Amino acid sequence: MSKLFSPAKLAGLTLRNRTVVAPMCQYSSQDGFASDWHLVHLGRFALGGFGLVMLEATAVTPEGRISYADLGLWKDEHIAPLSRIVDFLHGQGAAAGIQLAHAGRKASTPVHWRNGFDETEEEKVKFHFESWTPVAPSAVIHAEGKNFTKPEALDDTGIQHVIDSFVAAARRADRAGFDTVEIHAAHGYLLNQFLSPLANKRTDRYGGSRENRMRLVLEVTEAVRAVWPAEKPLLARLSVTDWHPDGWQVEDSIALTRELKARGVDAIDASSGGFDGAVIPTGAAYQVPLASAVRNQGGMPTMAVGLLGDAQRAEEIIANGEADFIALARGALDDPNWPVHIRHELGLHDYDLWPRPLNRVRERDRSLHQRGFAKS
């Protein structure tokens, strides 16, 4: 029996397997609204057999967007198009999650496939172009000469607004029917900025010691958990390390994980990096040791993510207790049918995970004598 394709339970949610689509920004929204692009983009992963499909970093405030083309959940009007996506995912047997995010000082940046802010006047109108001054723990720019803007430091009122905005977005996510929400505290965005001494230069109760730097993440978590239904799991995404000698380290994430667990978080999405000057040793499965450290020392189920996709290694990660879930982003873009494909690689030659309208693949395999119909 495959461990990867065994059901998994988080709080009151049972997932059909342990494969996850990680959040991936699409830069395809106008005024924060989901569109047909998002429906088709995300729906294909449910057809492909993933257990949980996570929507991209979704801004809890307009100024919290990475770019003007980001998805949002800062007003009630955003709920209906998101609910349409959730209903489709559920109809194909997948659970639906959404990542709640605030970009902090990495906000108001160009759409990544453009050459900076090169929109024509006509395009600015068409795509609802906006630019603004970001907010952050400290008035320190993310990086010079790379299309970032020097932010304004949040005061106490601004910090409370951030907390309230996460809460309001979580309530909307519940109304839209999502099975889980993920608090984004990774990749150098606002909550990660508060955690990391690379960005947090405050001298008040939100800065200085690790305890103080963790304060906002924990306050957001407590506030969201208070309104998020108890039977629905709450996730958190962490950059387990900044990959920088002066930044946030693995041992910091282990300490934070224990505090998040005490406040009702059900699993950690274990990623890394996000700050200028990081030296990241990328390679296949390079972040799995981070997920393992958080899981086995922090006492929390984890999602491994980052250049995964090999079937045998994915099975091994789950079987060995290195992580509890395998999350793909770019790998899912490359093969939206990854789960139904790797079931065969793992020797599970059934077609139960294929949606019924697509079950003609079975007849194709029989005719070609491949997969379970291969001649011995």
Closest CA to 186 of 238, 255, 244, 246: 238
Which pLDDT tens digit goes with each residue over 12-44?
A: 999 999 999 999 999 999 999 999 999 999 999
CATH number for region 8-345: 3.20.20.70
Q: Of 68, 189, 206, 351, which is the active-site residue?
A: 189
Give the residue carrying structure tokens 């290195």.
Answer: 322
Q: What's the pLDDT tens digit per position in 310-367?
A: 999 999 999 999 999 999 999 999 999 999 999 999 999 889 898 988 778 888 989 9
Which of 236, 240, 154 has the alpha carbon at shortest distance from 201? 154
283 is written with which tokens? 């390679």
pLDDT number for residue 218: 98
- Please measure the distance between the N-terminal and C-terminal CA atoms of the chain and give it in whole angstroms: 22
pLDDT along the chain (376 residues), means of 10: 96 98 97 98 98 98 98 98 98 98 98 91 91 97 95 98 98 98 98 98 98 98 98 98 98 98 98 97 96 98 97 98 98 97 92 86 90 83
Show the tokens assigned to 19: 């494969």
The per-residue pLDDT for 55 is 98
Answer yes or no: 68 catalytic: no
Inter-helix orientation angle 156-176/215-227, to 10°: 30
- The pLDDT, as a whole number, for residue 375 is 83
Helix (H) or strand (E) holding 36: helix 36-47
| pLDDT at site 372 | 83
pLDDT value of residue 1:
83
| Beta-strand runs (E) in 281-357 | 302-305, 325-328
Q: Where are the domains of the chain?
A: 8-345, 348-376
Residue 20, SS3 per DSSP:
strand
Number of Cβ within a 10 Å radius of residue 164 = 14
